[in-house]
Structure 1
């Protein structure tokens, strides 16, 4: 994708497409616009220090006597260990986690399924099932362990059972006013427009909104001015919706009959 005096040019199915400017813009390019949108040199940014408070409805009558939350670190190969050290340091620098002396710990590990392979980076996962089973939110109990250290979260981590719904509620509250051109599913945001000029306006509103609400963006996940996008397991293009190949393969393999919970869990764990 590139910009010249006439407009924005891109290629689709080996054909060049021109989104012509009604009024030629002053000096700007896709790269500079992308820099303006993410406002950072790093992968993630905090535009403001604003925080969103959430309430996790965990049980008040909680006892620590029978809690299996002391886990050993899961060993990693050399490449994953190096990647993990960089990611943990990045989380510390952003004050999202801190070193922990908690008696609690849950295992942290990386997954590299199809989505991660397509993105090009592994995803850190913490097994909070033991913590979810005992149902009480206290910061030191979110502690997790990796081969080189013990840490706990300063913010609500994903993996806690109410985290997705709480996060979605916050996103709905922020973006519902723009439901005519923004679709939000947890941390995936789709902005759609009828023209390039309209898209500039929509992007500006989006940037203003994330600034005022202290949200963060991932530079590697931002895609601008696409006529075909992948969103929630579908390819969307010019009013058409088609499932991605992985979803088709998954549905083809789905058993004709699910006899019990264990069979379903076994199937869902398959790569």
Structure 2
């Protein structure tokens, strides 16, 4: 405890020293008039200066007793930061003669934002078109309080430093590659810019990595722009791994989709806002013709750079997780009402400013109903793929190598939640990427069919609905000779079935040899396990188009269920088992609506499967035979 208290005190002193860098001691004597910064009711985030008021007494080092002259609370203790001197206007009128037709521009009052300054402040920040004029004014006033936060120059945070642990490894040195003349000139220009920003510095180090230029995906004015990169593959091989978790993209997308108001922020060269430790600087060294340099801030391409950056963002947003999310430098704020959104924005911006970070205004979107986040269009309880990515998939030519096949599967696989039975459709293409297959693929008619089906599926991809946990989920499962799949859906306000997510996977060679009922049973259990984040603790319906699966409800007493091994690891709550629509005509209604519950037994792989109290049937796991018996 003593050590913890000592570290806490040292940390507090360090933070106070950081925040007091620009602090100036301001003192007032009793008697003079002052302006008072007061909140405008009922808007807690909007303040205004009122005056004049008189200082009555100094209460503390930074607090004063002020006479506000109001009947309800005439005297109030205020912090010095909410006061500023009030100067009476001189009783003098000046007349100035000007030439006819000549007008002079009036200057704004000191201490206040003019409309021109406010427009310049938010220039580049995208305000939602659906916002009213009053709501836009709220945004401008809010951003005006954090004007120093928006900059094209990377900030510098003191909250963390990046370290590179290479153990006892010897320094890694890569040879300098010969570059074309125009590329060499681009490299020199980029290095000069980084020298001016203080990002790199001259240094002789035993470590050295090669420099490469990578074309940027989006170039301006049709000109091909290049990105300065350092090849740290040799350094990364000898670097110890940092296991800090990175958030799941699908979880963040589901969280944002249900919000009514969304705002996104992108940090200005986020990695460059984190300093390197002294030992790590030398390890980031790189060589070009005419010099040897090292980074002073965390560069792109390091093995543990994403982990360090995510740790910083998590620390900055600690306590704000209920309305903010961050995937590396992509920060999002989500709210269900406008008033809450203003409060949430203020808290997030304040946290970023305290950390010494800066935001790129041109990549900020405020008060949007839908935003582009992690390659998806989310908001308004909907999730959709980006049209630009869909067009890229449509324009994709048939691949000829394994690398091209993997690239196509990587892009379509990122949107697999929009494609029903993706695993079965893409199975022929996945087979081409096997190590046993040649590098130059053998493109068959089956591969072309799968290629076209994936394109068509992306063209007709449905808009998914964000999950609502107060409504009942519906799980529809299916199995084929190639794979298994399921659809998670919910009923909308009109009673129509709307998909929430599609899941699928292809079967292994061993699983393909199973019988049809085993594949269908496996599809059901695999889907319940895969959809556990949605289904756990909720009531849901499971539908299947395989009629023999109703053996779960028709078994006689004492008869073992050999295929019950599939159900020994299901961890959900309660559900209704029935046939999918279109397959229910031949089944008695009482069987279709019969309920059962799956109970998880802690610290074991066993599960209890029993019908509801209205049914006399009960299934449970035999611990010796590892089968479900009645």
Aligned twin of 1:268: none
Give the superposition deviation at 1:153: 0.7
Aligned twin of 1:131: 235
The 5 A counterparts of 1:3-22 are 10-11=128-129, 17-19=130-132, 21=134
The answer as to 2:177 corresponding to 1:72 is yes
Alpha-carbon distance change, 63 to 37 in structure 1, aligned in 2, over 3 angstroms:
closer
Gaps of 5+ in 1: 12-16, 265-271
2:325–2:331 Cα contact (<8 Å) kept = yes
What is the distance in 2 between the residues matched to 1:261 and 1:203?
53
1:106–1:126 Cα contact (<8 Å) kept = yes
Give the superposition deviation at 1:150: 3.3
Give the superposition deviation at 1:54: 3.8
Give the superposition deviation at 1:197: 3.5
Greater C-alpha radius of gyration: 2
What is the distance in 2 between the residues matched to 1:222 and 1:104?
38
What is the distance in 1 between the residues matched to 2:344 and 2:238?
44
Alpha-carbon distance change, 9 to 61 in structure 1, aligned in 2, over 3 angstroms:
closer
Aligned twin of 2:430: 256
Query: What RMSD in Å do the two structures reach over aligned CA positions?
Result: 4.0
1:69–1:106 Cα contact (<8 Å) kept = yes
Aligned twin of 1:205: 347
Aligned twin of 1:161: 303
What is the distance in 1 between the residues matched to 2:412 and 2:362?
32
Q: Greater shift after overlay, 99-108 or 204-213?
A: 99-108
With the length of structure 1 as denominator, give the TM-score of the two structures.
0.70
Q: What does the per-residue CA deviation read over 1:44-97, in whole Å, with 9 as the maximum and x for residues that have no partner?
A: 232x65241344443x22134xx442323644637x945x55543443233221
The 5 A counterparts of 1:1-271 are 10-11=128-129, 17-19=130-132, 21=134, 25=137, 28=140, 33=144, 36=147, 38-40=149-151, 43-46=152-155, 50-58=158-166, 60-64=167-171, 67-72=172-177, 74-75=179-180, 77=182, 81-82=185-186, 85=188, 87-114=190-217, 116-117=218-219, 122-135=226-239, 138-146=280-288, 149-245=291-387, 248=390, 249=393, 250=408, 251-252=411-412, 255-257=429-431, 258-260=433-435
What is the distance in 2 between the residues matched to 1:246 and 1:260?
32
2:239–2:303 Cα contact (<8 Å) kept = no
What is the distance in 2 between the residues matched to 1:93 and 1:232?
32
What is the distance in 1 between the residues matched to 2:190 and 2:359?
16
1:73–1:145 Cα contact (<8 Å) kept = no
The structure 1 segments of at least 4 consecutive aligned residues displaced by more than 6 Å after TM superposition are 261-264
| Count of aligned residue pairs for this structure pair | 244
Aligned twin of 1:269: none
With the length of structure 2 as denominator, give the TM-score of the two structures.
0.33
Higher relative contact order (CA 8 A, sep 6+): 1
Give the superposition deviation at 1:232: 0.9
Alpha-carbon distance change, 86 to 183 in structure 1, aligned in 2, over 3 angstroms:
farther
Gaps of 5+ in 2: 1-117, 120-125, 241-278, 394-407, 414-425, 440-630
Structure with the larger strand share: 2
1:182–1:190 Cα contact (<8 Å) kept = yes
